[in-house]
Chain A
Amino acid sequence: MTAAPTWTITSVRDALLAKKTSAHELVKDFYDQIERRNPELNAFLALCPERAYAQAGRVDAAITKGQPLPPLAGVPVAVKDVISAQGVRTTCGSKILENYTPPYDATAIERLEKAGAVVLGKTNCDEFAMGSSNENSAYGPVRNPVALDRVPGGSSGGSAAAVAAGLAVVALGTDTGGSIRQPGAYCGIPALMPTYGRVSRYGLIAFASSLDRIGPFATNISDTATVISVTAGYDSNDSTSAAVAVPDYLAEIEKPVLGLRIGVPEDYFGAGLDPEVKTKVQAGISLLEKLGCKRVPLKMPHTDYAIATYYIVATAEASSNLARYDGVRYGLRVQGNTLMEMYRKTRERGFGPEVKRRIMLGTYALSSGYYDAYYLRAQKVRSLIARDFASAFEKVDAIVTPTTPTAAFKLGEKTADPLQMYLADIYTVTGSLAGVPGISVPCGKTATGLPIGMQIFGSHFDEARILQLARAFEKAGGFSI
């Protein structure tokens, strides 16, 4: 049904150095593919050929002159439409930013391009990254390239689908409660949420500031490591980015995993977990044991409270962050006779139902009389969830769980019931609340051929450890277990 991805960062580099193709030709091939496949998948919202060909031209010129090539030279990448790119329409999947063009580049994009990457365009997502199926985009849902009647996951559904369908070699997504890892699992590709503060968010349009992170989708672990190497590190434009040293991930991932302790929390394998997913993830854990990892049973007793905590914290922050869309400075304006009327009409017309629902929930949780019962209590439970992780990492090097309770569901299956949709993130939101890094790696398929994801959490700033485990798992055939 789908053309499998054929290019990797390494194969692009080899082909360019061997002059088997040029960066220009490669961009053209990718745009041809996008033109063919995008009407069906709806993964891209905007393309930026002028910018892409200009960058490809610079890469080709460097090759002609025999200059050393940076790590992503000529690699076609896609970027989720919540990350600002100067001069490229950036909508956040929302009507309220339908005609918005950012006046500057996000640091993550700047770093990708400095490393030679070619940005092809912006990918579809749930409106303001709020959703688990990509069905909340104002520009229509994305289809899962593995099974067209299924959702690709969300909110970074377009980025996941683009990479899984071979329409980009790698892509950037964002993860607030699972929005990188869950679509990675549903589309059958590795997907990394780095530690909070690891990648600069300058130029990322905010949803929930204590949770939002930028991270990569790729088809293999080496490519994942390359993208995180390029994008990680302190940025003076983002005071929440951390000045923690960035290791050489490409060297780290090849280290042997013998003796690493992997924690398996029983709380992630209880009621609600699909039996097929459970079987495959348990087989994945057995494979890691065969590779010499030591399995450590864990209890993380506050796991069951994570979704409730998340939907207070995230919506409270969203209600505050999204107050800026008022029709004054950018985006949609619907005229009114008074300033208030203009605000209200603009926001009524510009926001979709899920965004309104979350703004109202967050406003309610923060409002006078309810603050202590909801927001303050949620922040306390968040401490307990973070403590579960901190105690676990005193005993283990990584934690292994399913990424999602089920494989990709059908389009339309959960749209009528917001709470059921929220529960698709039950295993991912925990790490989001705690601030730790997590990766989803492919872990076989269901009997009907739908991808299953296995999640590996690491301790803060220890992306190297989870990438190392993911790489050993990949090498041992775990992706198709």
Chain B
Amino acid sequence: MKISREDVLGVAQLAHLELAPEEVETYRAQLDEILAYIGKLQELDVASVEPMTQMLPRTAGGATPAGAEPELRDDVLLPCNVGEAVLAEAPDAARPFFRVPKVIER
């Protein structure tokens, strides 16, 4: 067993998920099985391998095709004007703000 009840509760707290008591054991068993399977990654020797941190294509020789480097647009302001449309989707808007339960206690 790789993952305990406490692990599940700890991860759920980090991820802001509230779990029903009966869900905890279900997720524990499932995550345990999945992590046991993922354990096969430990079989490989990756000591000299760089992690893949970007998606630019590289041939084994390291070349990239023309145009595959990230394109940066000019740093200019463009009108957006979506404030009203965005706030219209808010569960509780107090224009121009989103209202939430009190965060700071006095």
Interface of A toward B, CB cutoff 8 Å: 100-101, 103-104, 195-197, 210, 234, 236, 239-245, 302, 304-305, 307-309, 311-312, 319, 323, 326-333, 335-345, 347-348, 351, 356-357, 359-361, 363-364, 367, 373-374, 376-384, 386-387, 390-391, 393-394, 418-419, 422, 433, 435-436, 459-461
Residue of B nearest to A308 (CB): B38
Interface of B toward A, CB cutoff 8 Å: 3, 7-8, 11-12, 14-19, 27, 30-31, 33-35, 37-42, 44, 46, 49-53, 55, 57-60, 65-68, 70-73, 82, 85-86, 88-92, 98, 100-103
Given A336-B101, A419-B33: A360 in contact with B15 (beta carbons within 8 A): yes
What is the minimal beta-carbon distance from B67 to any residue of chain A, in angstroms?
A: 4
Q: Are B68 and A103 in contact (CB under 8 A)?
A: no
What is the minimal beta-carbon distance from B33 to any residue of chain A, in angstroms?
A: 6
Contact check: which of B52, B71, B82 meets A234 at CB < 8 Å? Answer: B71
Given A329-B89, A383-B52, A419-B37: A359 in contact with B68 (beta carbons within 8 A): no
What is the minimal beta-carbon distance from A330 to any residue of chain B, in angstroms?
A: 4
* Residues in B whose Cβ lies below 8 Å from that of A419: 30, 33-34, 37
15 contacting pairs across A/B (C-beta < 8 A): A103-B85, A210-B55, A239-B73, A241-B71, A242-B67, A244-B68, A308-B40, A336-B101, A345-B18, A360-B31, A374-B41, A381-B44, A381-B49, A418-B30, A435-B57
Q: Are B68 and A461 in contact (CB under 8 A)?
A: yes
Q: Are A359 and B37 in contact (CB under 8 A)?
A: no
Q: Are A197 and B46 in contact (CB under 8 A)?
A: no
Contact check: which of A307, A351, A363, A393 meets B59 at CB < 8 Å? Answer: A393
Contact check: which of B31, B51, B72, B91 meets A379 at CB < 8 Å? Answer: B51
Residue of A nearest to B58 (CB): A390
Given A319-B15, A348-B19, A379-B51: A361 in contact with B68 (beta carbons within 8 A): no
Q: For the A-B complex with A197-B68, A308-B38, A422-B34 known, give 11 more contacts whose Cβ atoms are closer than 8 Å.
A: A234-B67, A304-B40, A309-B41, A339-B103, A347-B16, A348-B18, A377-B41, A381-B46, A383-B52, A391-B60, A460-B65
* Residues in B whose Cβ lies below 8 Å from that of A342: 100-101
* Residues in B whose Cβ lies below 8 Å from that of A331: 89, 91
**Interface secondary structure of B, over-half rule:** loop
* Residues in A whose Cβ lies below 8 Å from that of B40: 304-305, 308
> Roughly how many angstroms separate A351 CA and B18 CA in the complex, as a whole number?
11
Q: Are A239 and B55 in contact (CB under 8 A)?
A: no
Q: Are B91 and A327 in contact (CB under 8 A)?
A: yes
Q: Are B31 and A383 in contact (CB under 8 A)?
A: no
Contact check: which of B11, B18, B86, B98 meets A363 at CB < 8 Å? Answer: B11
Residue of A nearest to B44 (CB): A381
Q: Are A357 and B46 in contact (CB under 8 A)?
A: no
Q: Are B17 and A359 in contact (CB under 8 A)?
A: yes
Q: Are A360 and B27 in contact (CB under 8 A)?
A: yes
What is the minimal beta-carbon distance from B88 to any residue of chain A, in angstroms?
A: 8
> Roughly how many angstroms separate A201 CA and B88 CA in the complex, as a whole number?
24
Q: Which of A345, A377, A393 is the most central at the interface, judged by chain B CB atoms within 10 Å of its CB?
A: A377
Q: Are B91 and A332 in contact (CB under 8 A)?
A: yes
> Roughly how many angstroms separate A390 CA and B58 CA in the complex, as a whole number?
7
What is the minimal beta-carbon distance from B34 to any residue of chain A, in angstroms?
A: 6
> Roughly how many angstroms separate A387 CA and B66 CA in the complex, as a whole number?
20
* Residues in B whose Cβ lies below 8 Å from that of A394: 59-60
Residue of A nearest to B74 (CB): A236
* Residues in A whose Cβ lies below 8 Å from that of B49: 380-381, 383-384
| Cβ-closest 8 pairs across A and B | A460-B57, A379-B51, A103-B85, A333-B91, A244-B67, A380-B46, A348-B18, A243-B67
Q: Are A103 and B82 in contact (CB under 8 A)?
A: yes
Q: Are B55 and A351 in contact (CB under 8 A)?
A: no
Q: Are A383 and B101 in contact (CB under 8 A)?
A: no
> Roughly how many angstroms separate A332 CA and B90 CA in the complex, as a whole number?
9
* Residues in B whose Cβ lies below 8 Å from that of A319: 15
Q: Are A367 and B14 in contact (CB under 8 A)?
A: yes
* Residues in A whose Cβ lies below 8 Å from that of B72: 239
Residue of B nearest to A210 (CB): B55
Given A197-B55, A342-B101: A311 in contact with B91 (beta carbons within 8 A): no
